[in-house]
Amino acid sequence: MPMELIAVWPPLFGALAGCSAFAGGQLVLRMPARVGLFQAFAAGMVVGAALFDLLPEALALHGPATLWPLLITLAVLIACLALARIARAGMRGQRGTIMPLFLVLHSLMDGASIALAFQLTSTAGWLVALAILAHDLADGVNIVSLSGGRGRARWWLAFNAVAPLIGTLLGGSLDLPAPALSALLAGMGGIFLFIAAFHLIPDSLERCPVWAATLLVATGLSGMAAITRLIGAF
């Protein structure tokens, strides 16, 4: 693929990822009574993105004979839990700031991951970009659900919409080796699992019946598995 096209694709995908997240957030803002259902479906997609895309990519980049990416994922998951406990103990009124901030930083990492993957090969870039696009609709749902108020949600949604584009521009200026990119993807996987397991699923269970939440989590998980398999086929 010509270098000119390789340089153009990451910012384009970054902009599309921001639009996808913004659309997901608007769905929640326009139908607040269905937030629990959106959260459950988003949780399934987020877990699916971690298990079927981010972690396999991290292992493939680092090499099949090592478990370092999984250890990084576990370390990030534990760190997120510790930060959440500190937040609950000392900043109870800031929950609507800390978790959306995590998601905006994650969106920056999404964009950087797209740019860095294109530095490896064009195929890797397309796979990572399309997988991120597939679950960014859920990111918009997440950020609105965790923002604590419609006014705050709109601001965080706007920040989150531009974050992937900024991330691609930052990532395009870096030249990371494959092991470093592997660590980045593994860390993103840990953040995804934390958000799903300790925020989205518990919150959805408070807002909708258990059977509905379970069905939607399974649907989101299955959908992400199918999308990842479809992307891999190409």
Q: Residues 184-214: pLDDT tens digits? A: 888 888 988 988 888 888 888 888 899 999 9
Whole-number pLDDT of residue 166: 92
Q: DSSP secondary structure string, 166-209? A: HHHHHHHT----HHHHHHHHHHHHHHHHHHIIIIIHHHHHHHS-
* pLDDT (0 to 100) of residue 125: 77
Amino acid 219: pLDDT: 93
- pLDDT, one tens digit per residue, over 10-43 is 888 888 988 988 888 887 778 777 778 888 888 8
Contact 110, 136 (CB under 8 A): yes
DSSP assignment, residue 32? Answer: G
Nearest to residue 127, comparing CAs of 196, 53, 70, 69?
53
Q: Strand locations in 16-145, DSSP E?
A: none
Q: Which residues have CB under 8 Å from 211's CB, separation 6+?
A: none
pLDDT tens-digit map of 114-148: 888 787 777 777 877 877 886 777 778 778 777 76
Residue 14 CA to residue 16 CA, distance in Å, equals 5
* Dihedral over Cα of 143, 99, 41, 138: its sign: positive
Any idea what DSSP says for residue 34?
G
3-state secondary structure of 94: helix
Straight-line distance from the first to the last Cα atom of the chain, in angstroms, rounded to the nearest whole number = 16
In whole numbers, what is the pLDDT of the chain averaged over residues? 80
Residue 92 DSSP symbol: G
* Residue labelled with tokens 């860095």: 116
